[in-house]
Amino acid sequence: MKAVNIHKLFPDSKTFVDMPMTKDPHEVWSEFEKIYDFKREHVEKSDLENFIKKYFTEAGTELTDCDLDDWKEMPKKLMRIQDNHLRKWALELNRMWLRLCRKVKPGVNSNRNSLIDVPYHFIVPGGRFREYYYWDAYWIIKGLIACEMYNTTKAMLMNFENLVDRLYGFIPNGGRIYYLRRSQPPFFAGMVYEYIEATKDYDFLKSILPAVIKELGFWQNYRTILIKKGKFTHRLFQYNTPTNVERPESFAADHMIGKQVHAADRPKLFQNIASAAESGWDFSSRWFQDKMSMRTIETTDIVPVDLNAIMCWNMKIISYLSYLAGDRDRSVCYEKQSNSFRRSMRSVFYDKKKGVWLDYNLRTERLNSEFYGYIAVPLFTKCYQQLNLRKSFQIVEFMNAFNLAHKWIMGNYMVYQKTGHMWEKVEI
């Protein structure tokens, strides 16, 4: 991998790590060792290209397109959009589902590729992202439900259930083995909630709820930290990926940044980069100590407001879903957890003077002062105490929420009309 990236055989590091092998891994490695031994960085580029052509095939060939039996040309919800231009645009976006459906090819040798095999079809984000992704799926599922595509939604949920219950105990960042060290913002509970609210499929709820609870346990066991405030100690969540090397899918970029710091500092740098990728905010000045340079990234020193608001939301969702599934005791248990967590959110993150929630910095033992879009997440998840309600409305007014939402929709619409593409992020 290092040799391929040093010689820049591909414009994108992700291309190589997505290429299936033509032989079993030990055979490919044995041949590479025979030819190049310890001179990997000094091998001729043309020789390396020939080796790759011989032992690897095109990226993404382990996947195939699939048919969507629940796709509708004119979903009712989209047809209710009053603005003619926006309704036409929504119907264009609806047709994209047909181009973005994938499934694993039958008979694919999973030992020869980096794909994490799943049993059902799924929707991919598109572009370089050939496989399924975790938190992207929440927004995809919101769209699928708006388009009445309940079978596809259920298939994606069952894929995630398989990852949690039968394979890893959590949902990786995406559907590749190089993502197994990190997850993404935990929206699995939210996905199940959206599906159950739309379909009332309570039999499915009972079967998938244990996986939702198990995934919460992963975050509680592996992504928490204790923070003392006054007399109380709070257990809160943070992004903290257990890795100390370059990300395979972004090896060249990480390697270049690594050269800018001392060798002894690189393992921590790479951990902070991967942890920022786990957050979904890859990359934002939010994680940089100097607010300018990736070299100063300190993701693992930051306890994020939005992640903790999402975890609080998960507890509330599990309480609600447990109630629907007929387990009153478990419902009460998670409701208590959620209420307790709200108090922790207020104690650690809430800035009374500014009237907003801010990230907590472990290095400075203070709240970071910068405002980012995450300040609205506790409102989205309703993870605030009622005493904060008046302040919460002030935050909404401050953000001028409706105008912001309208501007964002229209911005996406105009960019799509001009380029055929969508904005991924508007925040830096």
Active site residues: 282, 424
CB 180 within 8 A of CB 172: yes
Q: Are 84 and 131 in contact (CB under 8 A)?
A: no
CA-to-CA distance for 138 and 340, rounded, in angstroms?
A: 26
Euclidean distance between CA atoms 428 and 412, whole angstroms: 17
Query: Per-residue b/e over 217-231, b at no fewer than 16 CB within 10 Å?
Result: ebbeeebbeebeeee
Alpha helices in 382-426 (DSSP H): 389-399, 401-419
Those residues whose C-beta lies under 8 Å from the C-beta of residue 123, and which sit 6 or more positions away, are 97, 100, 101, 102, 132, 137, 140, 144, 152, 156
Q: Note whether 234 and 249 are within 8 A (CB).
A: no
Contact 177, 116 (CB under 8 A): yes
Q: Is the peptide bond before 187 cis (omega within 30 degrees of 0)?
A: no
Q: Which residues contact 180 (CB under 8 A, 6 or more apart)?
A: 116, 168, 172
What span, in angstroms and rounded, lies between the C-alpha atoms of 399 and 397? 5
Angle at 299 between CA 273 and CA 275, to 5 degrees: 45
Q: How many helices (H) and strands (E) does the chain have?
A: 17, 10
How is residue 46 written in tokens?
């043309």
| Token pair in block for residue 414 | 């105009």
